[in-house]
Amino acid sequence: MRTAEIRRRFLDFFAERGHTVVPSAPLPTPDPTLLFVNAGMVPFKPYLTGEVPAPWPRATSVQKCVRTLDIEEVGRTTRHGSFFQMNGNFSLGDYFKEEAIAFAWELSTASVEGGGYGLDPDRIWVTVHHSDDESRGLWRRIAGLPDERIVARGDEDNFWSMGVPGPCGPCSELYYDRGPALGRAGGPAVDEDRYMEFWNLVFMQYERGKGPGKSGYPILGELPRRNIDTGMGLERMATLLQGVDNLYEIDETRPVLDRAAALAEVRYGADAEADVRLRVVADHVRTALMLLADGTSPGNEGRGYVLRRILRRAVRSMRQLGHTEPVLGDLLAVARDCMAPSYPEVAEAYDRIADRAASEEEAFRSTLRQGTTVLDTAVAKVKEEGSRALPGAQAFLLHDTYGFPIDLTLEMAAEQGVEVDREGFTTLMREQRERARADARARKAGGTDLGVLRPVLDEHGPTDWRALDTLTTDARVLAVLGVTGPAPVVREGEIATVVLDRTPFYAESGGQDSDAGRLSGASVEAEVLDVQRPLPGLVVHQVRVLSGELATGDRVHAAVDPEWRLGARQAHSGTHVLHAALRQVLGPNALQSGSYNRPGYLRLDFPWRGALSAAARSEIEAAANQALRRDLPVGVRWMTLPEAKELGAQALFDETYGEKVRVVEIGGAWSRELCGGTHVEHASQIGTVALTSESSVGAGMRRLEAAVGAEGFGYLARERDLVSRVAEQLQAPRAELPDRIAGLLDRLKSADRENQRLREQADRARAGDLAADATDVDGTLVVTATTDGDARALAIAVRERLPATRPGVVVVGSPAGDRATLVAAVNGAARSTGQDASALVKRLLDGRGGGSPELAQGGGIPSERLPGTLDSVPALLFRA
């Protein structure tokens, strides 16, 4: 049974039993504790925890997931894949254990002809929590399982919680006996390779208190509404139903593996280590396809770094298999054909996906060349110093600056007989990640610990958010918080985090900056500095008290600055307009991959190889402003996510969408995007869109920046004034400025070339005098000099004028602004005495620079150090 059919049967089964089919959420998630959805229940977490009222009593989904904690195990075990799909059915205060167990048993064992999976009931084992006698009894009664196939296990295996105070409960897992060829008899407690887990039923019925780990915390009591959260691994079920050994060999991954084997000219199954690499390729290519399809772009941090690492591991694995040519385009096309039956969007977006992957692969190939050079130099220095360990800081530099994978550093260093301080590298990596996570959490929470905010949400419920309806509202202060907890009162000049029962302030999201404004009360005036949504449903305000004092329980009037909101609306609508204009001019592959807008300014990132021409930039700007001149209407509609996709709405993938989504249209189909931001009512209200910059923000990624509204007109006015001043200074009509400036530049270039020629003539004439004045240092003729011209040419010219029979060394320095360049040249006689130009340059420049033994160069020293450096040459020549 193909994986797409397994997926369809699951959704149909539960839909027929009253479950609402919920589409998979995009892989990127706004949850500040996660980069990607890593479990099927993540999109349902606000409903399961009671933070947000559930829109349906029972639901089902097949959720895309990415989990990279075990990435090093990918390919080495049958249980680890970085991308997987989790089939789930959820009861939100509706049914409980009996129905969940009955559903799982029926679907698993019903005949294929009857719509089930046809698993042999006699080969199914289950586990239950050792205290859960109710579940044990239900398995006996509903499934007729004997006691020996109902295995009791402890908290580590069969009790679920999120690791923090909140819902928890026992779980029951279903395993399938794959036969004695795959391991020992005795059930899942003995061998989890032979007995493969394929479904986990979580019974959320208790509330847990504080405590570490998976056990040892107190159970505070029963939940008022019990929930069901189940997860059936789609790849695991496919492994069982397709009769293959592991998830890398199912129909959605095996074709990629086979194509990789064909390209590398190896046979799967012939060599254990090659098999691991082939499985890594198959897994990572599929994962990359799905991440790219959901809008993630390779980058140096966060989600982008995860994707970059996955792509580069796939490319490197192919190189280890002996295939050094570009490979991602070929393999991604195979993965697309495998996944399109379940996810048609991967085929629709494939041109964009392939283009981004090709850019990343090209960049990585360049990285390999640069990183290899840096690594070889570092290893040589380690050996020269008599050490056998590459410092962790050097490995981290290779990783952080050059994108060089640590496993590649380890392997290549080992080939040269050098170890790597892996512990030092890991410490630096951990510190970097902790800083990044802390920064992200602090930004979202306004500097307040999330653990301090959660009790506020638990006690008072979600914020009544009115930003899309009004600019003002009366509100009550629910909490005043500092970094560590509640603050009794905040006074004039102090900054604190404030939670209101209702707010008109827009919280930063979807690329739009937060609102500015004031909180006013009987005895307080406070400025709103920032607004964030650190937890689903909770809005927090960072405020500075301007006068008086603010305390919990106070009544205030919350008012958004209307000029700020107008500018924000112009900028956000301008971003949509620019995105549509970009796609109109460049085509559908120019899909927004990131944006930011605030009053008067917007930026938009999109995948594209190479800088845009001046003509393309002008055409994009003209298309955007044409929409403004046509005064296209701006409309908002609410609909289901499938309806929005059917309509062709563009989704921004750093958002999580609920049952209903908000679609913003500008000119109908011309611009149609899922968006929760604030917008103008007609395009003309944007004023103008003036492109101010187009630049690179990484391999294959470009950024457009623009001024909008009043700031846009101001930018154009400043440009006009600048042109007027230039025209006045050149005494030329504006229309002739490009030709007049081009003529001036040509004359300047000619003058520079003539000056260079004269300097070179002077240096050649000077070379003979320098050679004649060479200093004899223990039999070696030494010349040091400075020049404003070509140091390399002068060094060679002086070396040629030294007697060929005498050892000769020439070092020429050339200051250029704050930094200087050094060139060393050594003749044949000096080489025979052991002199080496490359070694000399490195001694002079503290390890920097290089070249051949006859001619080398380097730079970077401050220009003021150049005389002293040249004076040190004689002493360094004969240093051991």
Inform me whether the pLDDT recorded for 371 exceeds 80.
Answer: no
| Mean pLDDT score, 38-54 | 82
Token output for 46: 């606000």
Inform me whether the pLDDT recorded for 104 exceeds 90.
Answer: yes
| Mean pLDDT score, 192-202 | 92
- Residue 617's φ and ψ, nearest 5 degrees, are -60, -45
Of the listed ranges 143-152, 212-221, 500-509, 633-642, the least confidently predicted one is 212-221
| Mean pLDDT score, 470-480 | 95
Tokens 């640590």 — which residue? 406
User: Bigger pLDDT: 584 or 214?
Assistant: 584
Instruction: Give the pLDDT confidence score for residue 374 in this predicted structure.
Output: 79
In residues, how long is the chain? 880
* pLDDT confidence bin for 480, thresholds 50/70/90: very high
Q: What is the pLDDT of residues 745-787, one digit of tens each?
A: 899 998 888 887 887 777 777 888 898 889 998 889 999 999 8
Instruction: Give the pLDDT confidence score for residue 29 in this predicted structure.
Output: 80
* CATH T-level topology, domain 766-877: Diaminopimelate Epimerase; Chain A, domain 1 (3.10.310)
| Mean pLDDT score, 387-394 | 84
Token output for 201: 């039923």
| Mean pLDDT score, 137-165 | 90
Do the bridges between strand 124-129 and strand 150-153 make them parallel or antiparallel, or are there none, so unpaired?
parallel
Instruction: Give the pLDDT confidence score for residue 439 in this predicted structure.
Output: 54
Instruction: Identify the burial level of 423 via C-beta atoms within 10 angstroms of its C-beta, where 0-12 means exposed, 13-18 middle and 19 or more buried.
Output: exposed
Inform me whether the pLDDT recorded for 653 exceeds 70.
Answer: no
User: Bigger pLDDT: 658 or 695?
Assistant: 695
| Mean pLDDT score, 498-516 | 93
Inform me whether the pLDDT recorded for 844 exceeds 50.
Answer: yes
| Mean pLDDT score, 88-108 | 95
* pLDDT confidence bin for 320, thresholds 50/70/90: confident
Give which of 202, 175, 24 is closest to 100, Cα–Cα.
202
- DSSP three-state, residue 646: helix
Instruction: Give the pLDDT confidence score for residue 818 in this predicted structure.
Output: 84
What percentage of the chain has pLDDT greater than the value 70?
95
Inform me whether the pLDDT recorded for 111 exceeds 90.
Answer: yes
Hey, what CATH class is 3-244 in?
Answer: alpha beta
| Mean pLDDT score, 849-863 | 86
- Residue 57's φ and ψ, nearest 5 degrees, are -75, -30
Question: Inter-axis angle of helices 737-772 and 709-730, to 10 degrees?
Answer: 70
Q: Which amino acid is at 292?
A: L
Instruction: Give the pLDDT confidence score for residue 367 in this predicted structure.
Output: 76
* pLDDT confidence bin for 542, thresholds 50/70/90: very high
User: Bigger pLDDT: 493 or 383?
Assistant: 493
Of the listed ranges 431-445, 593-607, 857-871, the least confidently predicted one is 431-445
Tokens 């044949």 — which residue? 828
Instruction: Give the pLDDT confidence score for residue 654 in this predicted structure.
Output: 45
| Mean pLDDT score, 506-524 | 92
Instruction: Give the pLDDT confidence score for residue 700 in this predicted structure.
Output: 74
Instruction: Identify the burial level of 575 via C-beta atoms within 10 angstroms of its C-beta, where 0-12 means exposed, 13-18 middle and 19 or more buried.
Output: buried
In whole angstroms, how large is the CA radius of gyration of the chain? 33
Q: What is the pLDDT of residues 230-253, one digit of tens each?
A: 999 999 999 999 999 889 999 999
- Maximum average pLDDT range among 350-359, 465-474, 854-863: 465-474
Of the listed ranges 146-160, 293-307, 559-573, 615-629, the least confidently predicted one is 293-307
Q: Which residues are part of a known binding site?
A: 572, 576, 675, 679
Token output for 421: 């301080």
Across the chain, mean pLDDT equals: 88
User: Bigger pLDDT: 699 or 45?
Assistant: 45
Instruction: Give pairs for 488-491: CB < 8 Å, separation 24+.
Output: 488/551, 489/549, 489/550, 489/551, 490/543, 490/545, 490/549, 490/550, 490/551, 491/545, 491/548, 491/549
* CATH T-level topology, domain 565-717: Threonyl-tRNA Synthetase; Chain A, domain 2 (3.30.980)
User: Bigger pLDDT: 449 or 593?
Assistant: 593
Q: Which residues are part of a known binding site for Zn(2+)?
A: 572, 576, 675, 679
790 with 819: CB under 8 angstroms? no
Do the bridges between strand 555-560 and strand 472-481 make them parallel or antiparallel, or are there none, so unpaired?
antiparallel
Of the listed ranges 200-214, 467-481, 629-643, the least confidently predicted one is 200-214
* pLDDT confidence bin for 730, thresholds 50/70/90: confident
| Mean pLDDT score, 548-567 | 95
Of the listed ranges 57-61, 669-673, 696-700, the least confidently predicted one is 696-700
| Mean pLDDT score, 67-82 | 76
Residue 352 and residue 358: Cα distance in Å, rounded?
A: 10
User: Bigger pLDDT: 415 or 501?
Assistant: 501
| Mean pLDDT score, 626-651 | 88
Instruction: Give the pLDDT confidence score for residue 132 in this predicted structure.
Output: 93
Q: What is the pLDDT of residues 113-135, one digit of tens each?
A: 999 999 999 999 999 999 999 99
Instruction: Give the pLDDT confidence score for residue 880 in this predicted structure.
Output: 41
Inform me whether the pLDDT recorded for 619 exceeds 70.
Answer: yes
Q: Does an H or E element contain 476, and which?
A: strand 472-481
What percentage of the chain has pLDDT greater than the value 90?
51
Inform me whether the pLDDT recorded for 215 exceeds 80.
Answer: no
- Maximum average pLDDT range among 30-34, 655-659, 736-740, 828-832: 828-832
Question: What is the reported pTM?
Answer: 0.64
Angle at the Cα of 71 from the Cα atoms of 68 and 75, rounded to 5 degrees:
135
236's CB contacts (< 8 A; 6+ apart) are: 196, 197, 198, 247
Q: Which CATH number fits domain 445-556: 2.40.30.130, 3.40.50.150, 3.40.50.300, 2.60.120.380?
A: 2.40.30.130
Instruction: Identify the burial level of 879 via C-beta atoms within 10 angstroms of its C-beta, where 0-12 means exposed, 13-18 middle and 19 or more buried.
Output: exposed
| Mean pLDDT score, 578-590 | 90
- DSSP three-state, residue 197: strand
Largest CA distance in the chain: 106
User: Bigger pLDDT: 492 or 403?
Assistant: 492
